Amino acid sequence: MNGIEERYISLLTDFGFKRIFGTAPNKDLLINFLNSLFDGRKVIKSLKYSNSEHVGDIYTERKAIFDVYCESEDGEKFIVEMQNASQKFFKDRSVYYSTFPIREQAPKGDTWDYKLNPVYTVALLNYDMKDEKAFDMNEISHHVQLCDTVTKRVFYDKLEFIYVEVSKFNKTDSELVTLYDKWLYALKNLSTLTERPAALRDKIFDRLFQVAEIAKFTPVELKEYEDSLKTYRDLKNSLDTAEEKGRDEEKKATIRRLLASGASIGIISIATDLSEADVRLLIDEISKE
């Protein structure tokens, strides 16, 4: 029996993301999303899906398994990934992933002029990258290319990394104007919706809501989604718990410094934005450590 209360799947789960963006019958959804992301700079008319599992050279046999891997009618390669948890070397990983569609373009034989088709790696991130040195933290989308460090001009326009911090998107349904806004809203909020917002009544979103309705799943699809949803929720709970502990440790460190300087409970309460009762609880925990 279906124990899921939501009407629509979460696109943040592995099952939901791949069902919407990673299957041939729904490729029109992926095309529409990518076109909204490029915002006229590139127009994709058709896509074909490729094998998402790639193996490294014979020495390492290191694998790369993409969430979605496809190619446009012009031979452009697109890797699309959903990442729910921060990874220390995620930028390294995305660069490493880009090498597979680059290398696979080398034909067998001796003759080749090294001409490459463009490769785009799109990473949808359900967390804050917190990369102030590289990015404008007020922006959600970050487009990265090789450029000259003096002129800041693009040196090579056939390799691009696009990082989208979905978690930072906070517009309400009444604030959605662009197609890209609408897609980010759907990515973040689809599973929480019971009815379709007026802003998501475009034809393409007719398709999205049709294929995302849980009631239409087969028993096998429902079981796969339930398993994927459980994995996502367990991960989110673990991350939330770790983040909460991190905040507590940070506040404890602040309280220690303030106590050492002779600050009163009232001053500490103001400085930490905690109630005096909560300050006393943390002081009690500190004393037991």
Residue 221 pLDDT: 94
The answer to whether 142 and 181 have CB atoms below 8 angstroms apart is: no
Any idea what DSSP says for residue 39? T
Question: Residue range 132-158: average pLDDT?
Answer: 92
The answer to whether 274 and 282 have CB atoms below 8 angstroms apart is: yes
- Amino acid identity of residue 233, one-letter, is R
The answer to whether 140 and 184 have CB atoms below 8 angstroms apart is: yes
Which among 164, 162, 198, 169 has a CA at the least distance from the CA of 185?
Answer: 169
For residue range 49-91, what is the model confidence (pLDDT) as tens digits? 987 776 555 445 556 788 999 999 999 999 999 999 888 899 9
Tell whether the model's pLDDT for residue 206 goes beyond 70: yes
Q: How far apart are CA 162 and CA 145, in angstroms?
A: 9
- φ and ψ at residue 231, rounded to 5 degrees: -60, -45
- CA 167 to each of CA 16, 56, 192: distance values in angstroms, whole numbers, following the listed order: 17, 32, 15
- The region of weakest confidence among 11-15, 89-93, 179-183, 270-274 is 270-274
Count CA atoms closer than 13 A to 1's CA, side-chain side. Answer: 2
Residue with structure tokens 């983040």? 243
Q: How far apart are CA 214 and CA 237, in angstroms?
A: 23
Residue 240 banded pLDDT, cuts 50, 70, 90:
confident
Other CB atoms within 10 Å distance of the CB of residue 78: 22
Q: How far apart are CA 187 and CA 25, in angstroms?
A: 19
Percent of the chain with pLDDT over 70: 95
Other CB atoms within 10 Å distance of the CB of residue 213: 12
Q: What is the dihedral of CA 149, 152, 155, 158, to 10 degrees?
A: 120
**Tokens coding 179:** 């197609």
Q: How far apart are CA 92 and CA 76, in angstroms?
A: 22
Q: How far apart are CA 211 and CA 37, in angstroms?
A: 21
**Tokens coding 114:** 């090294």
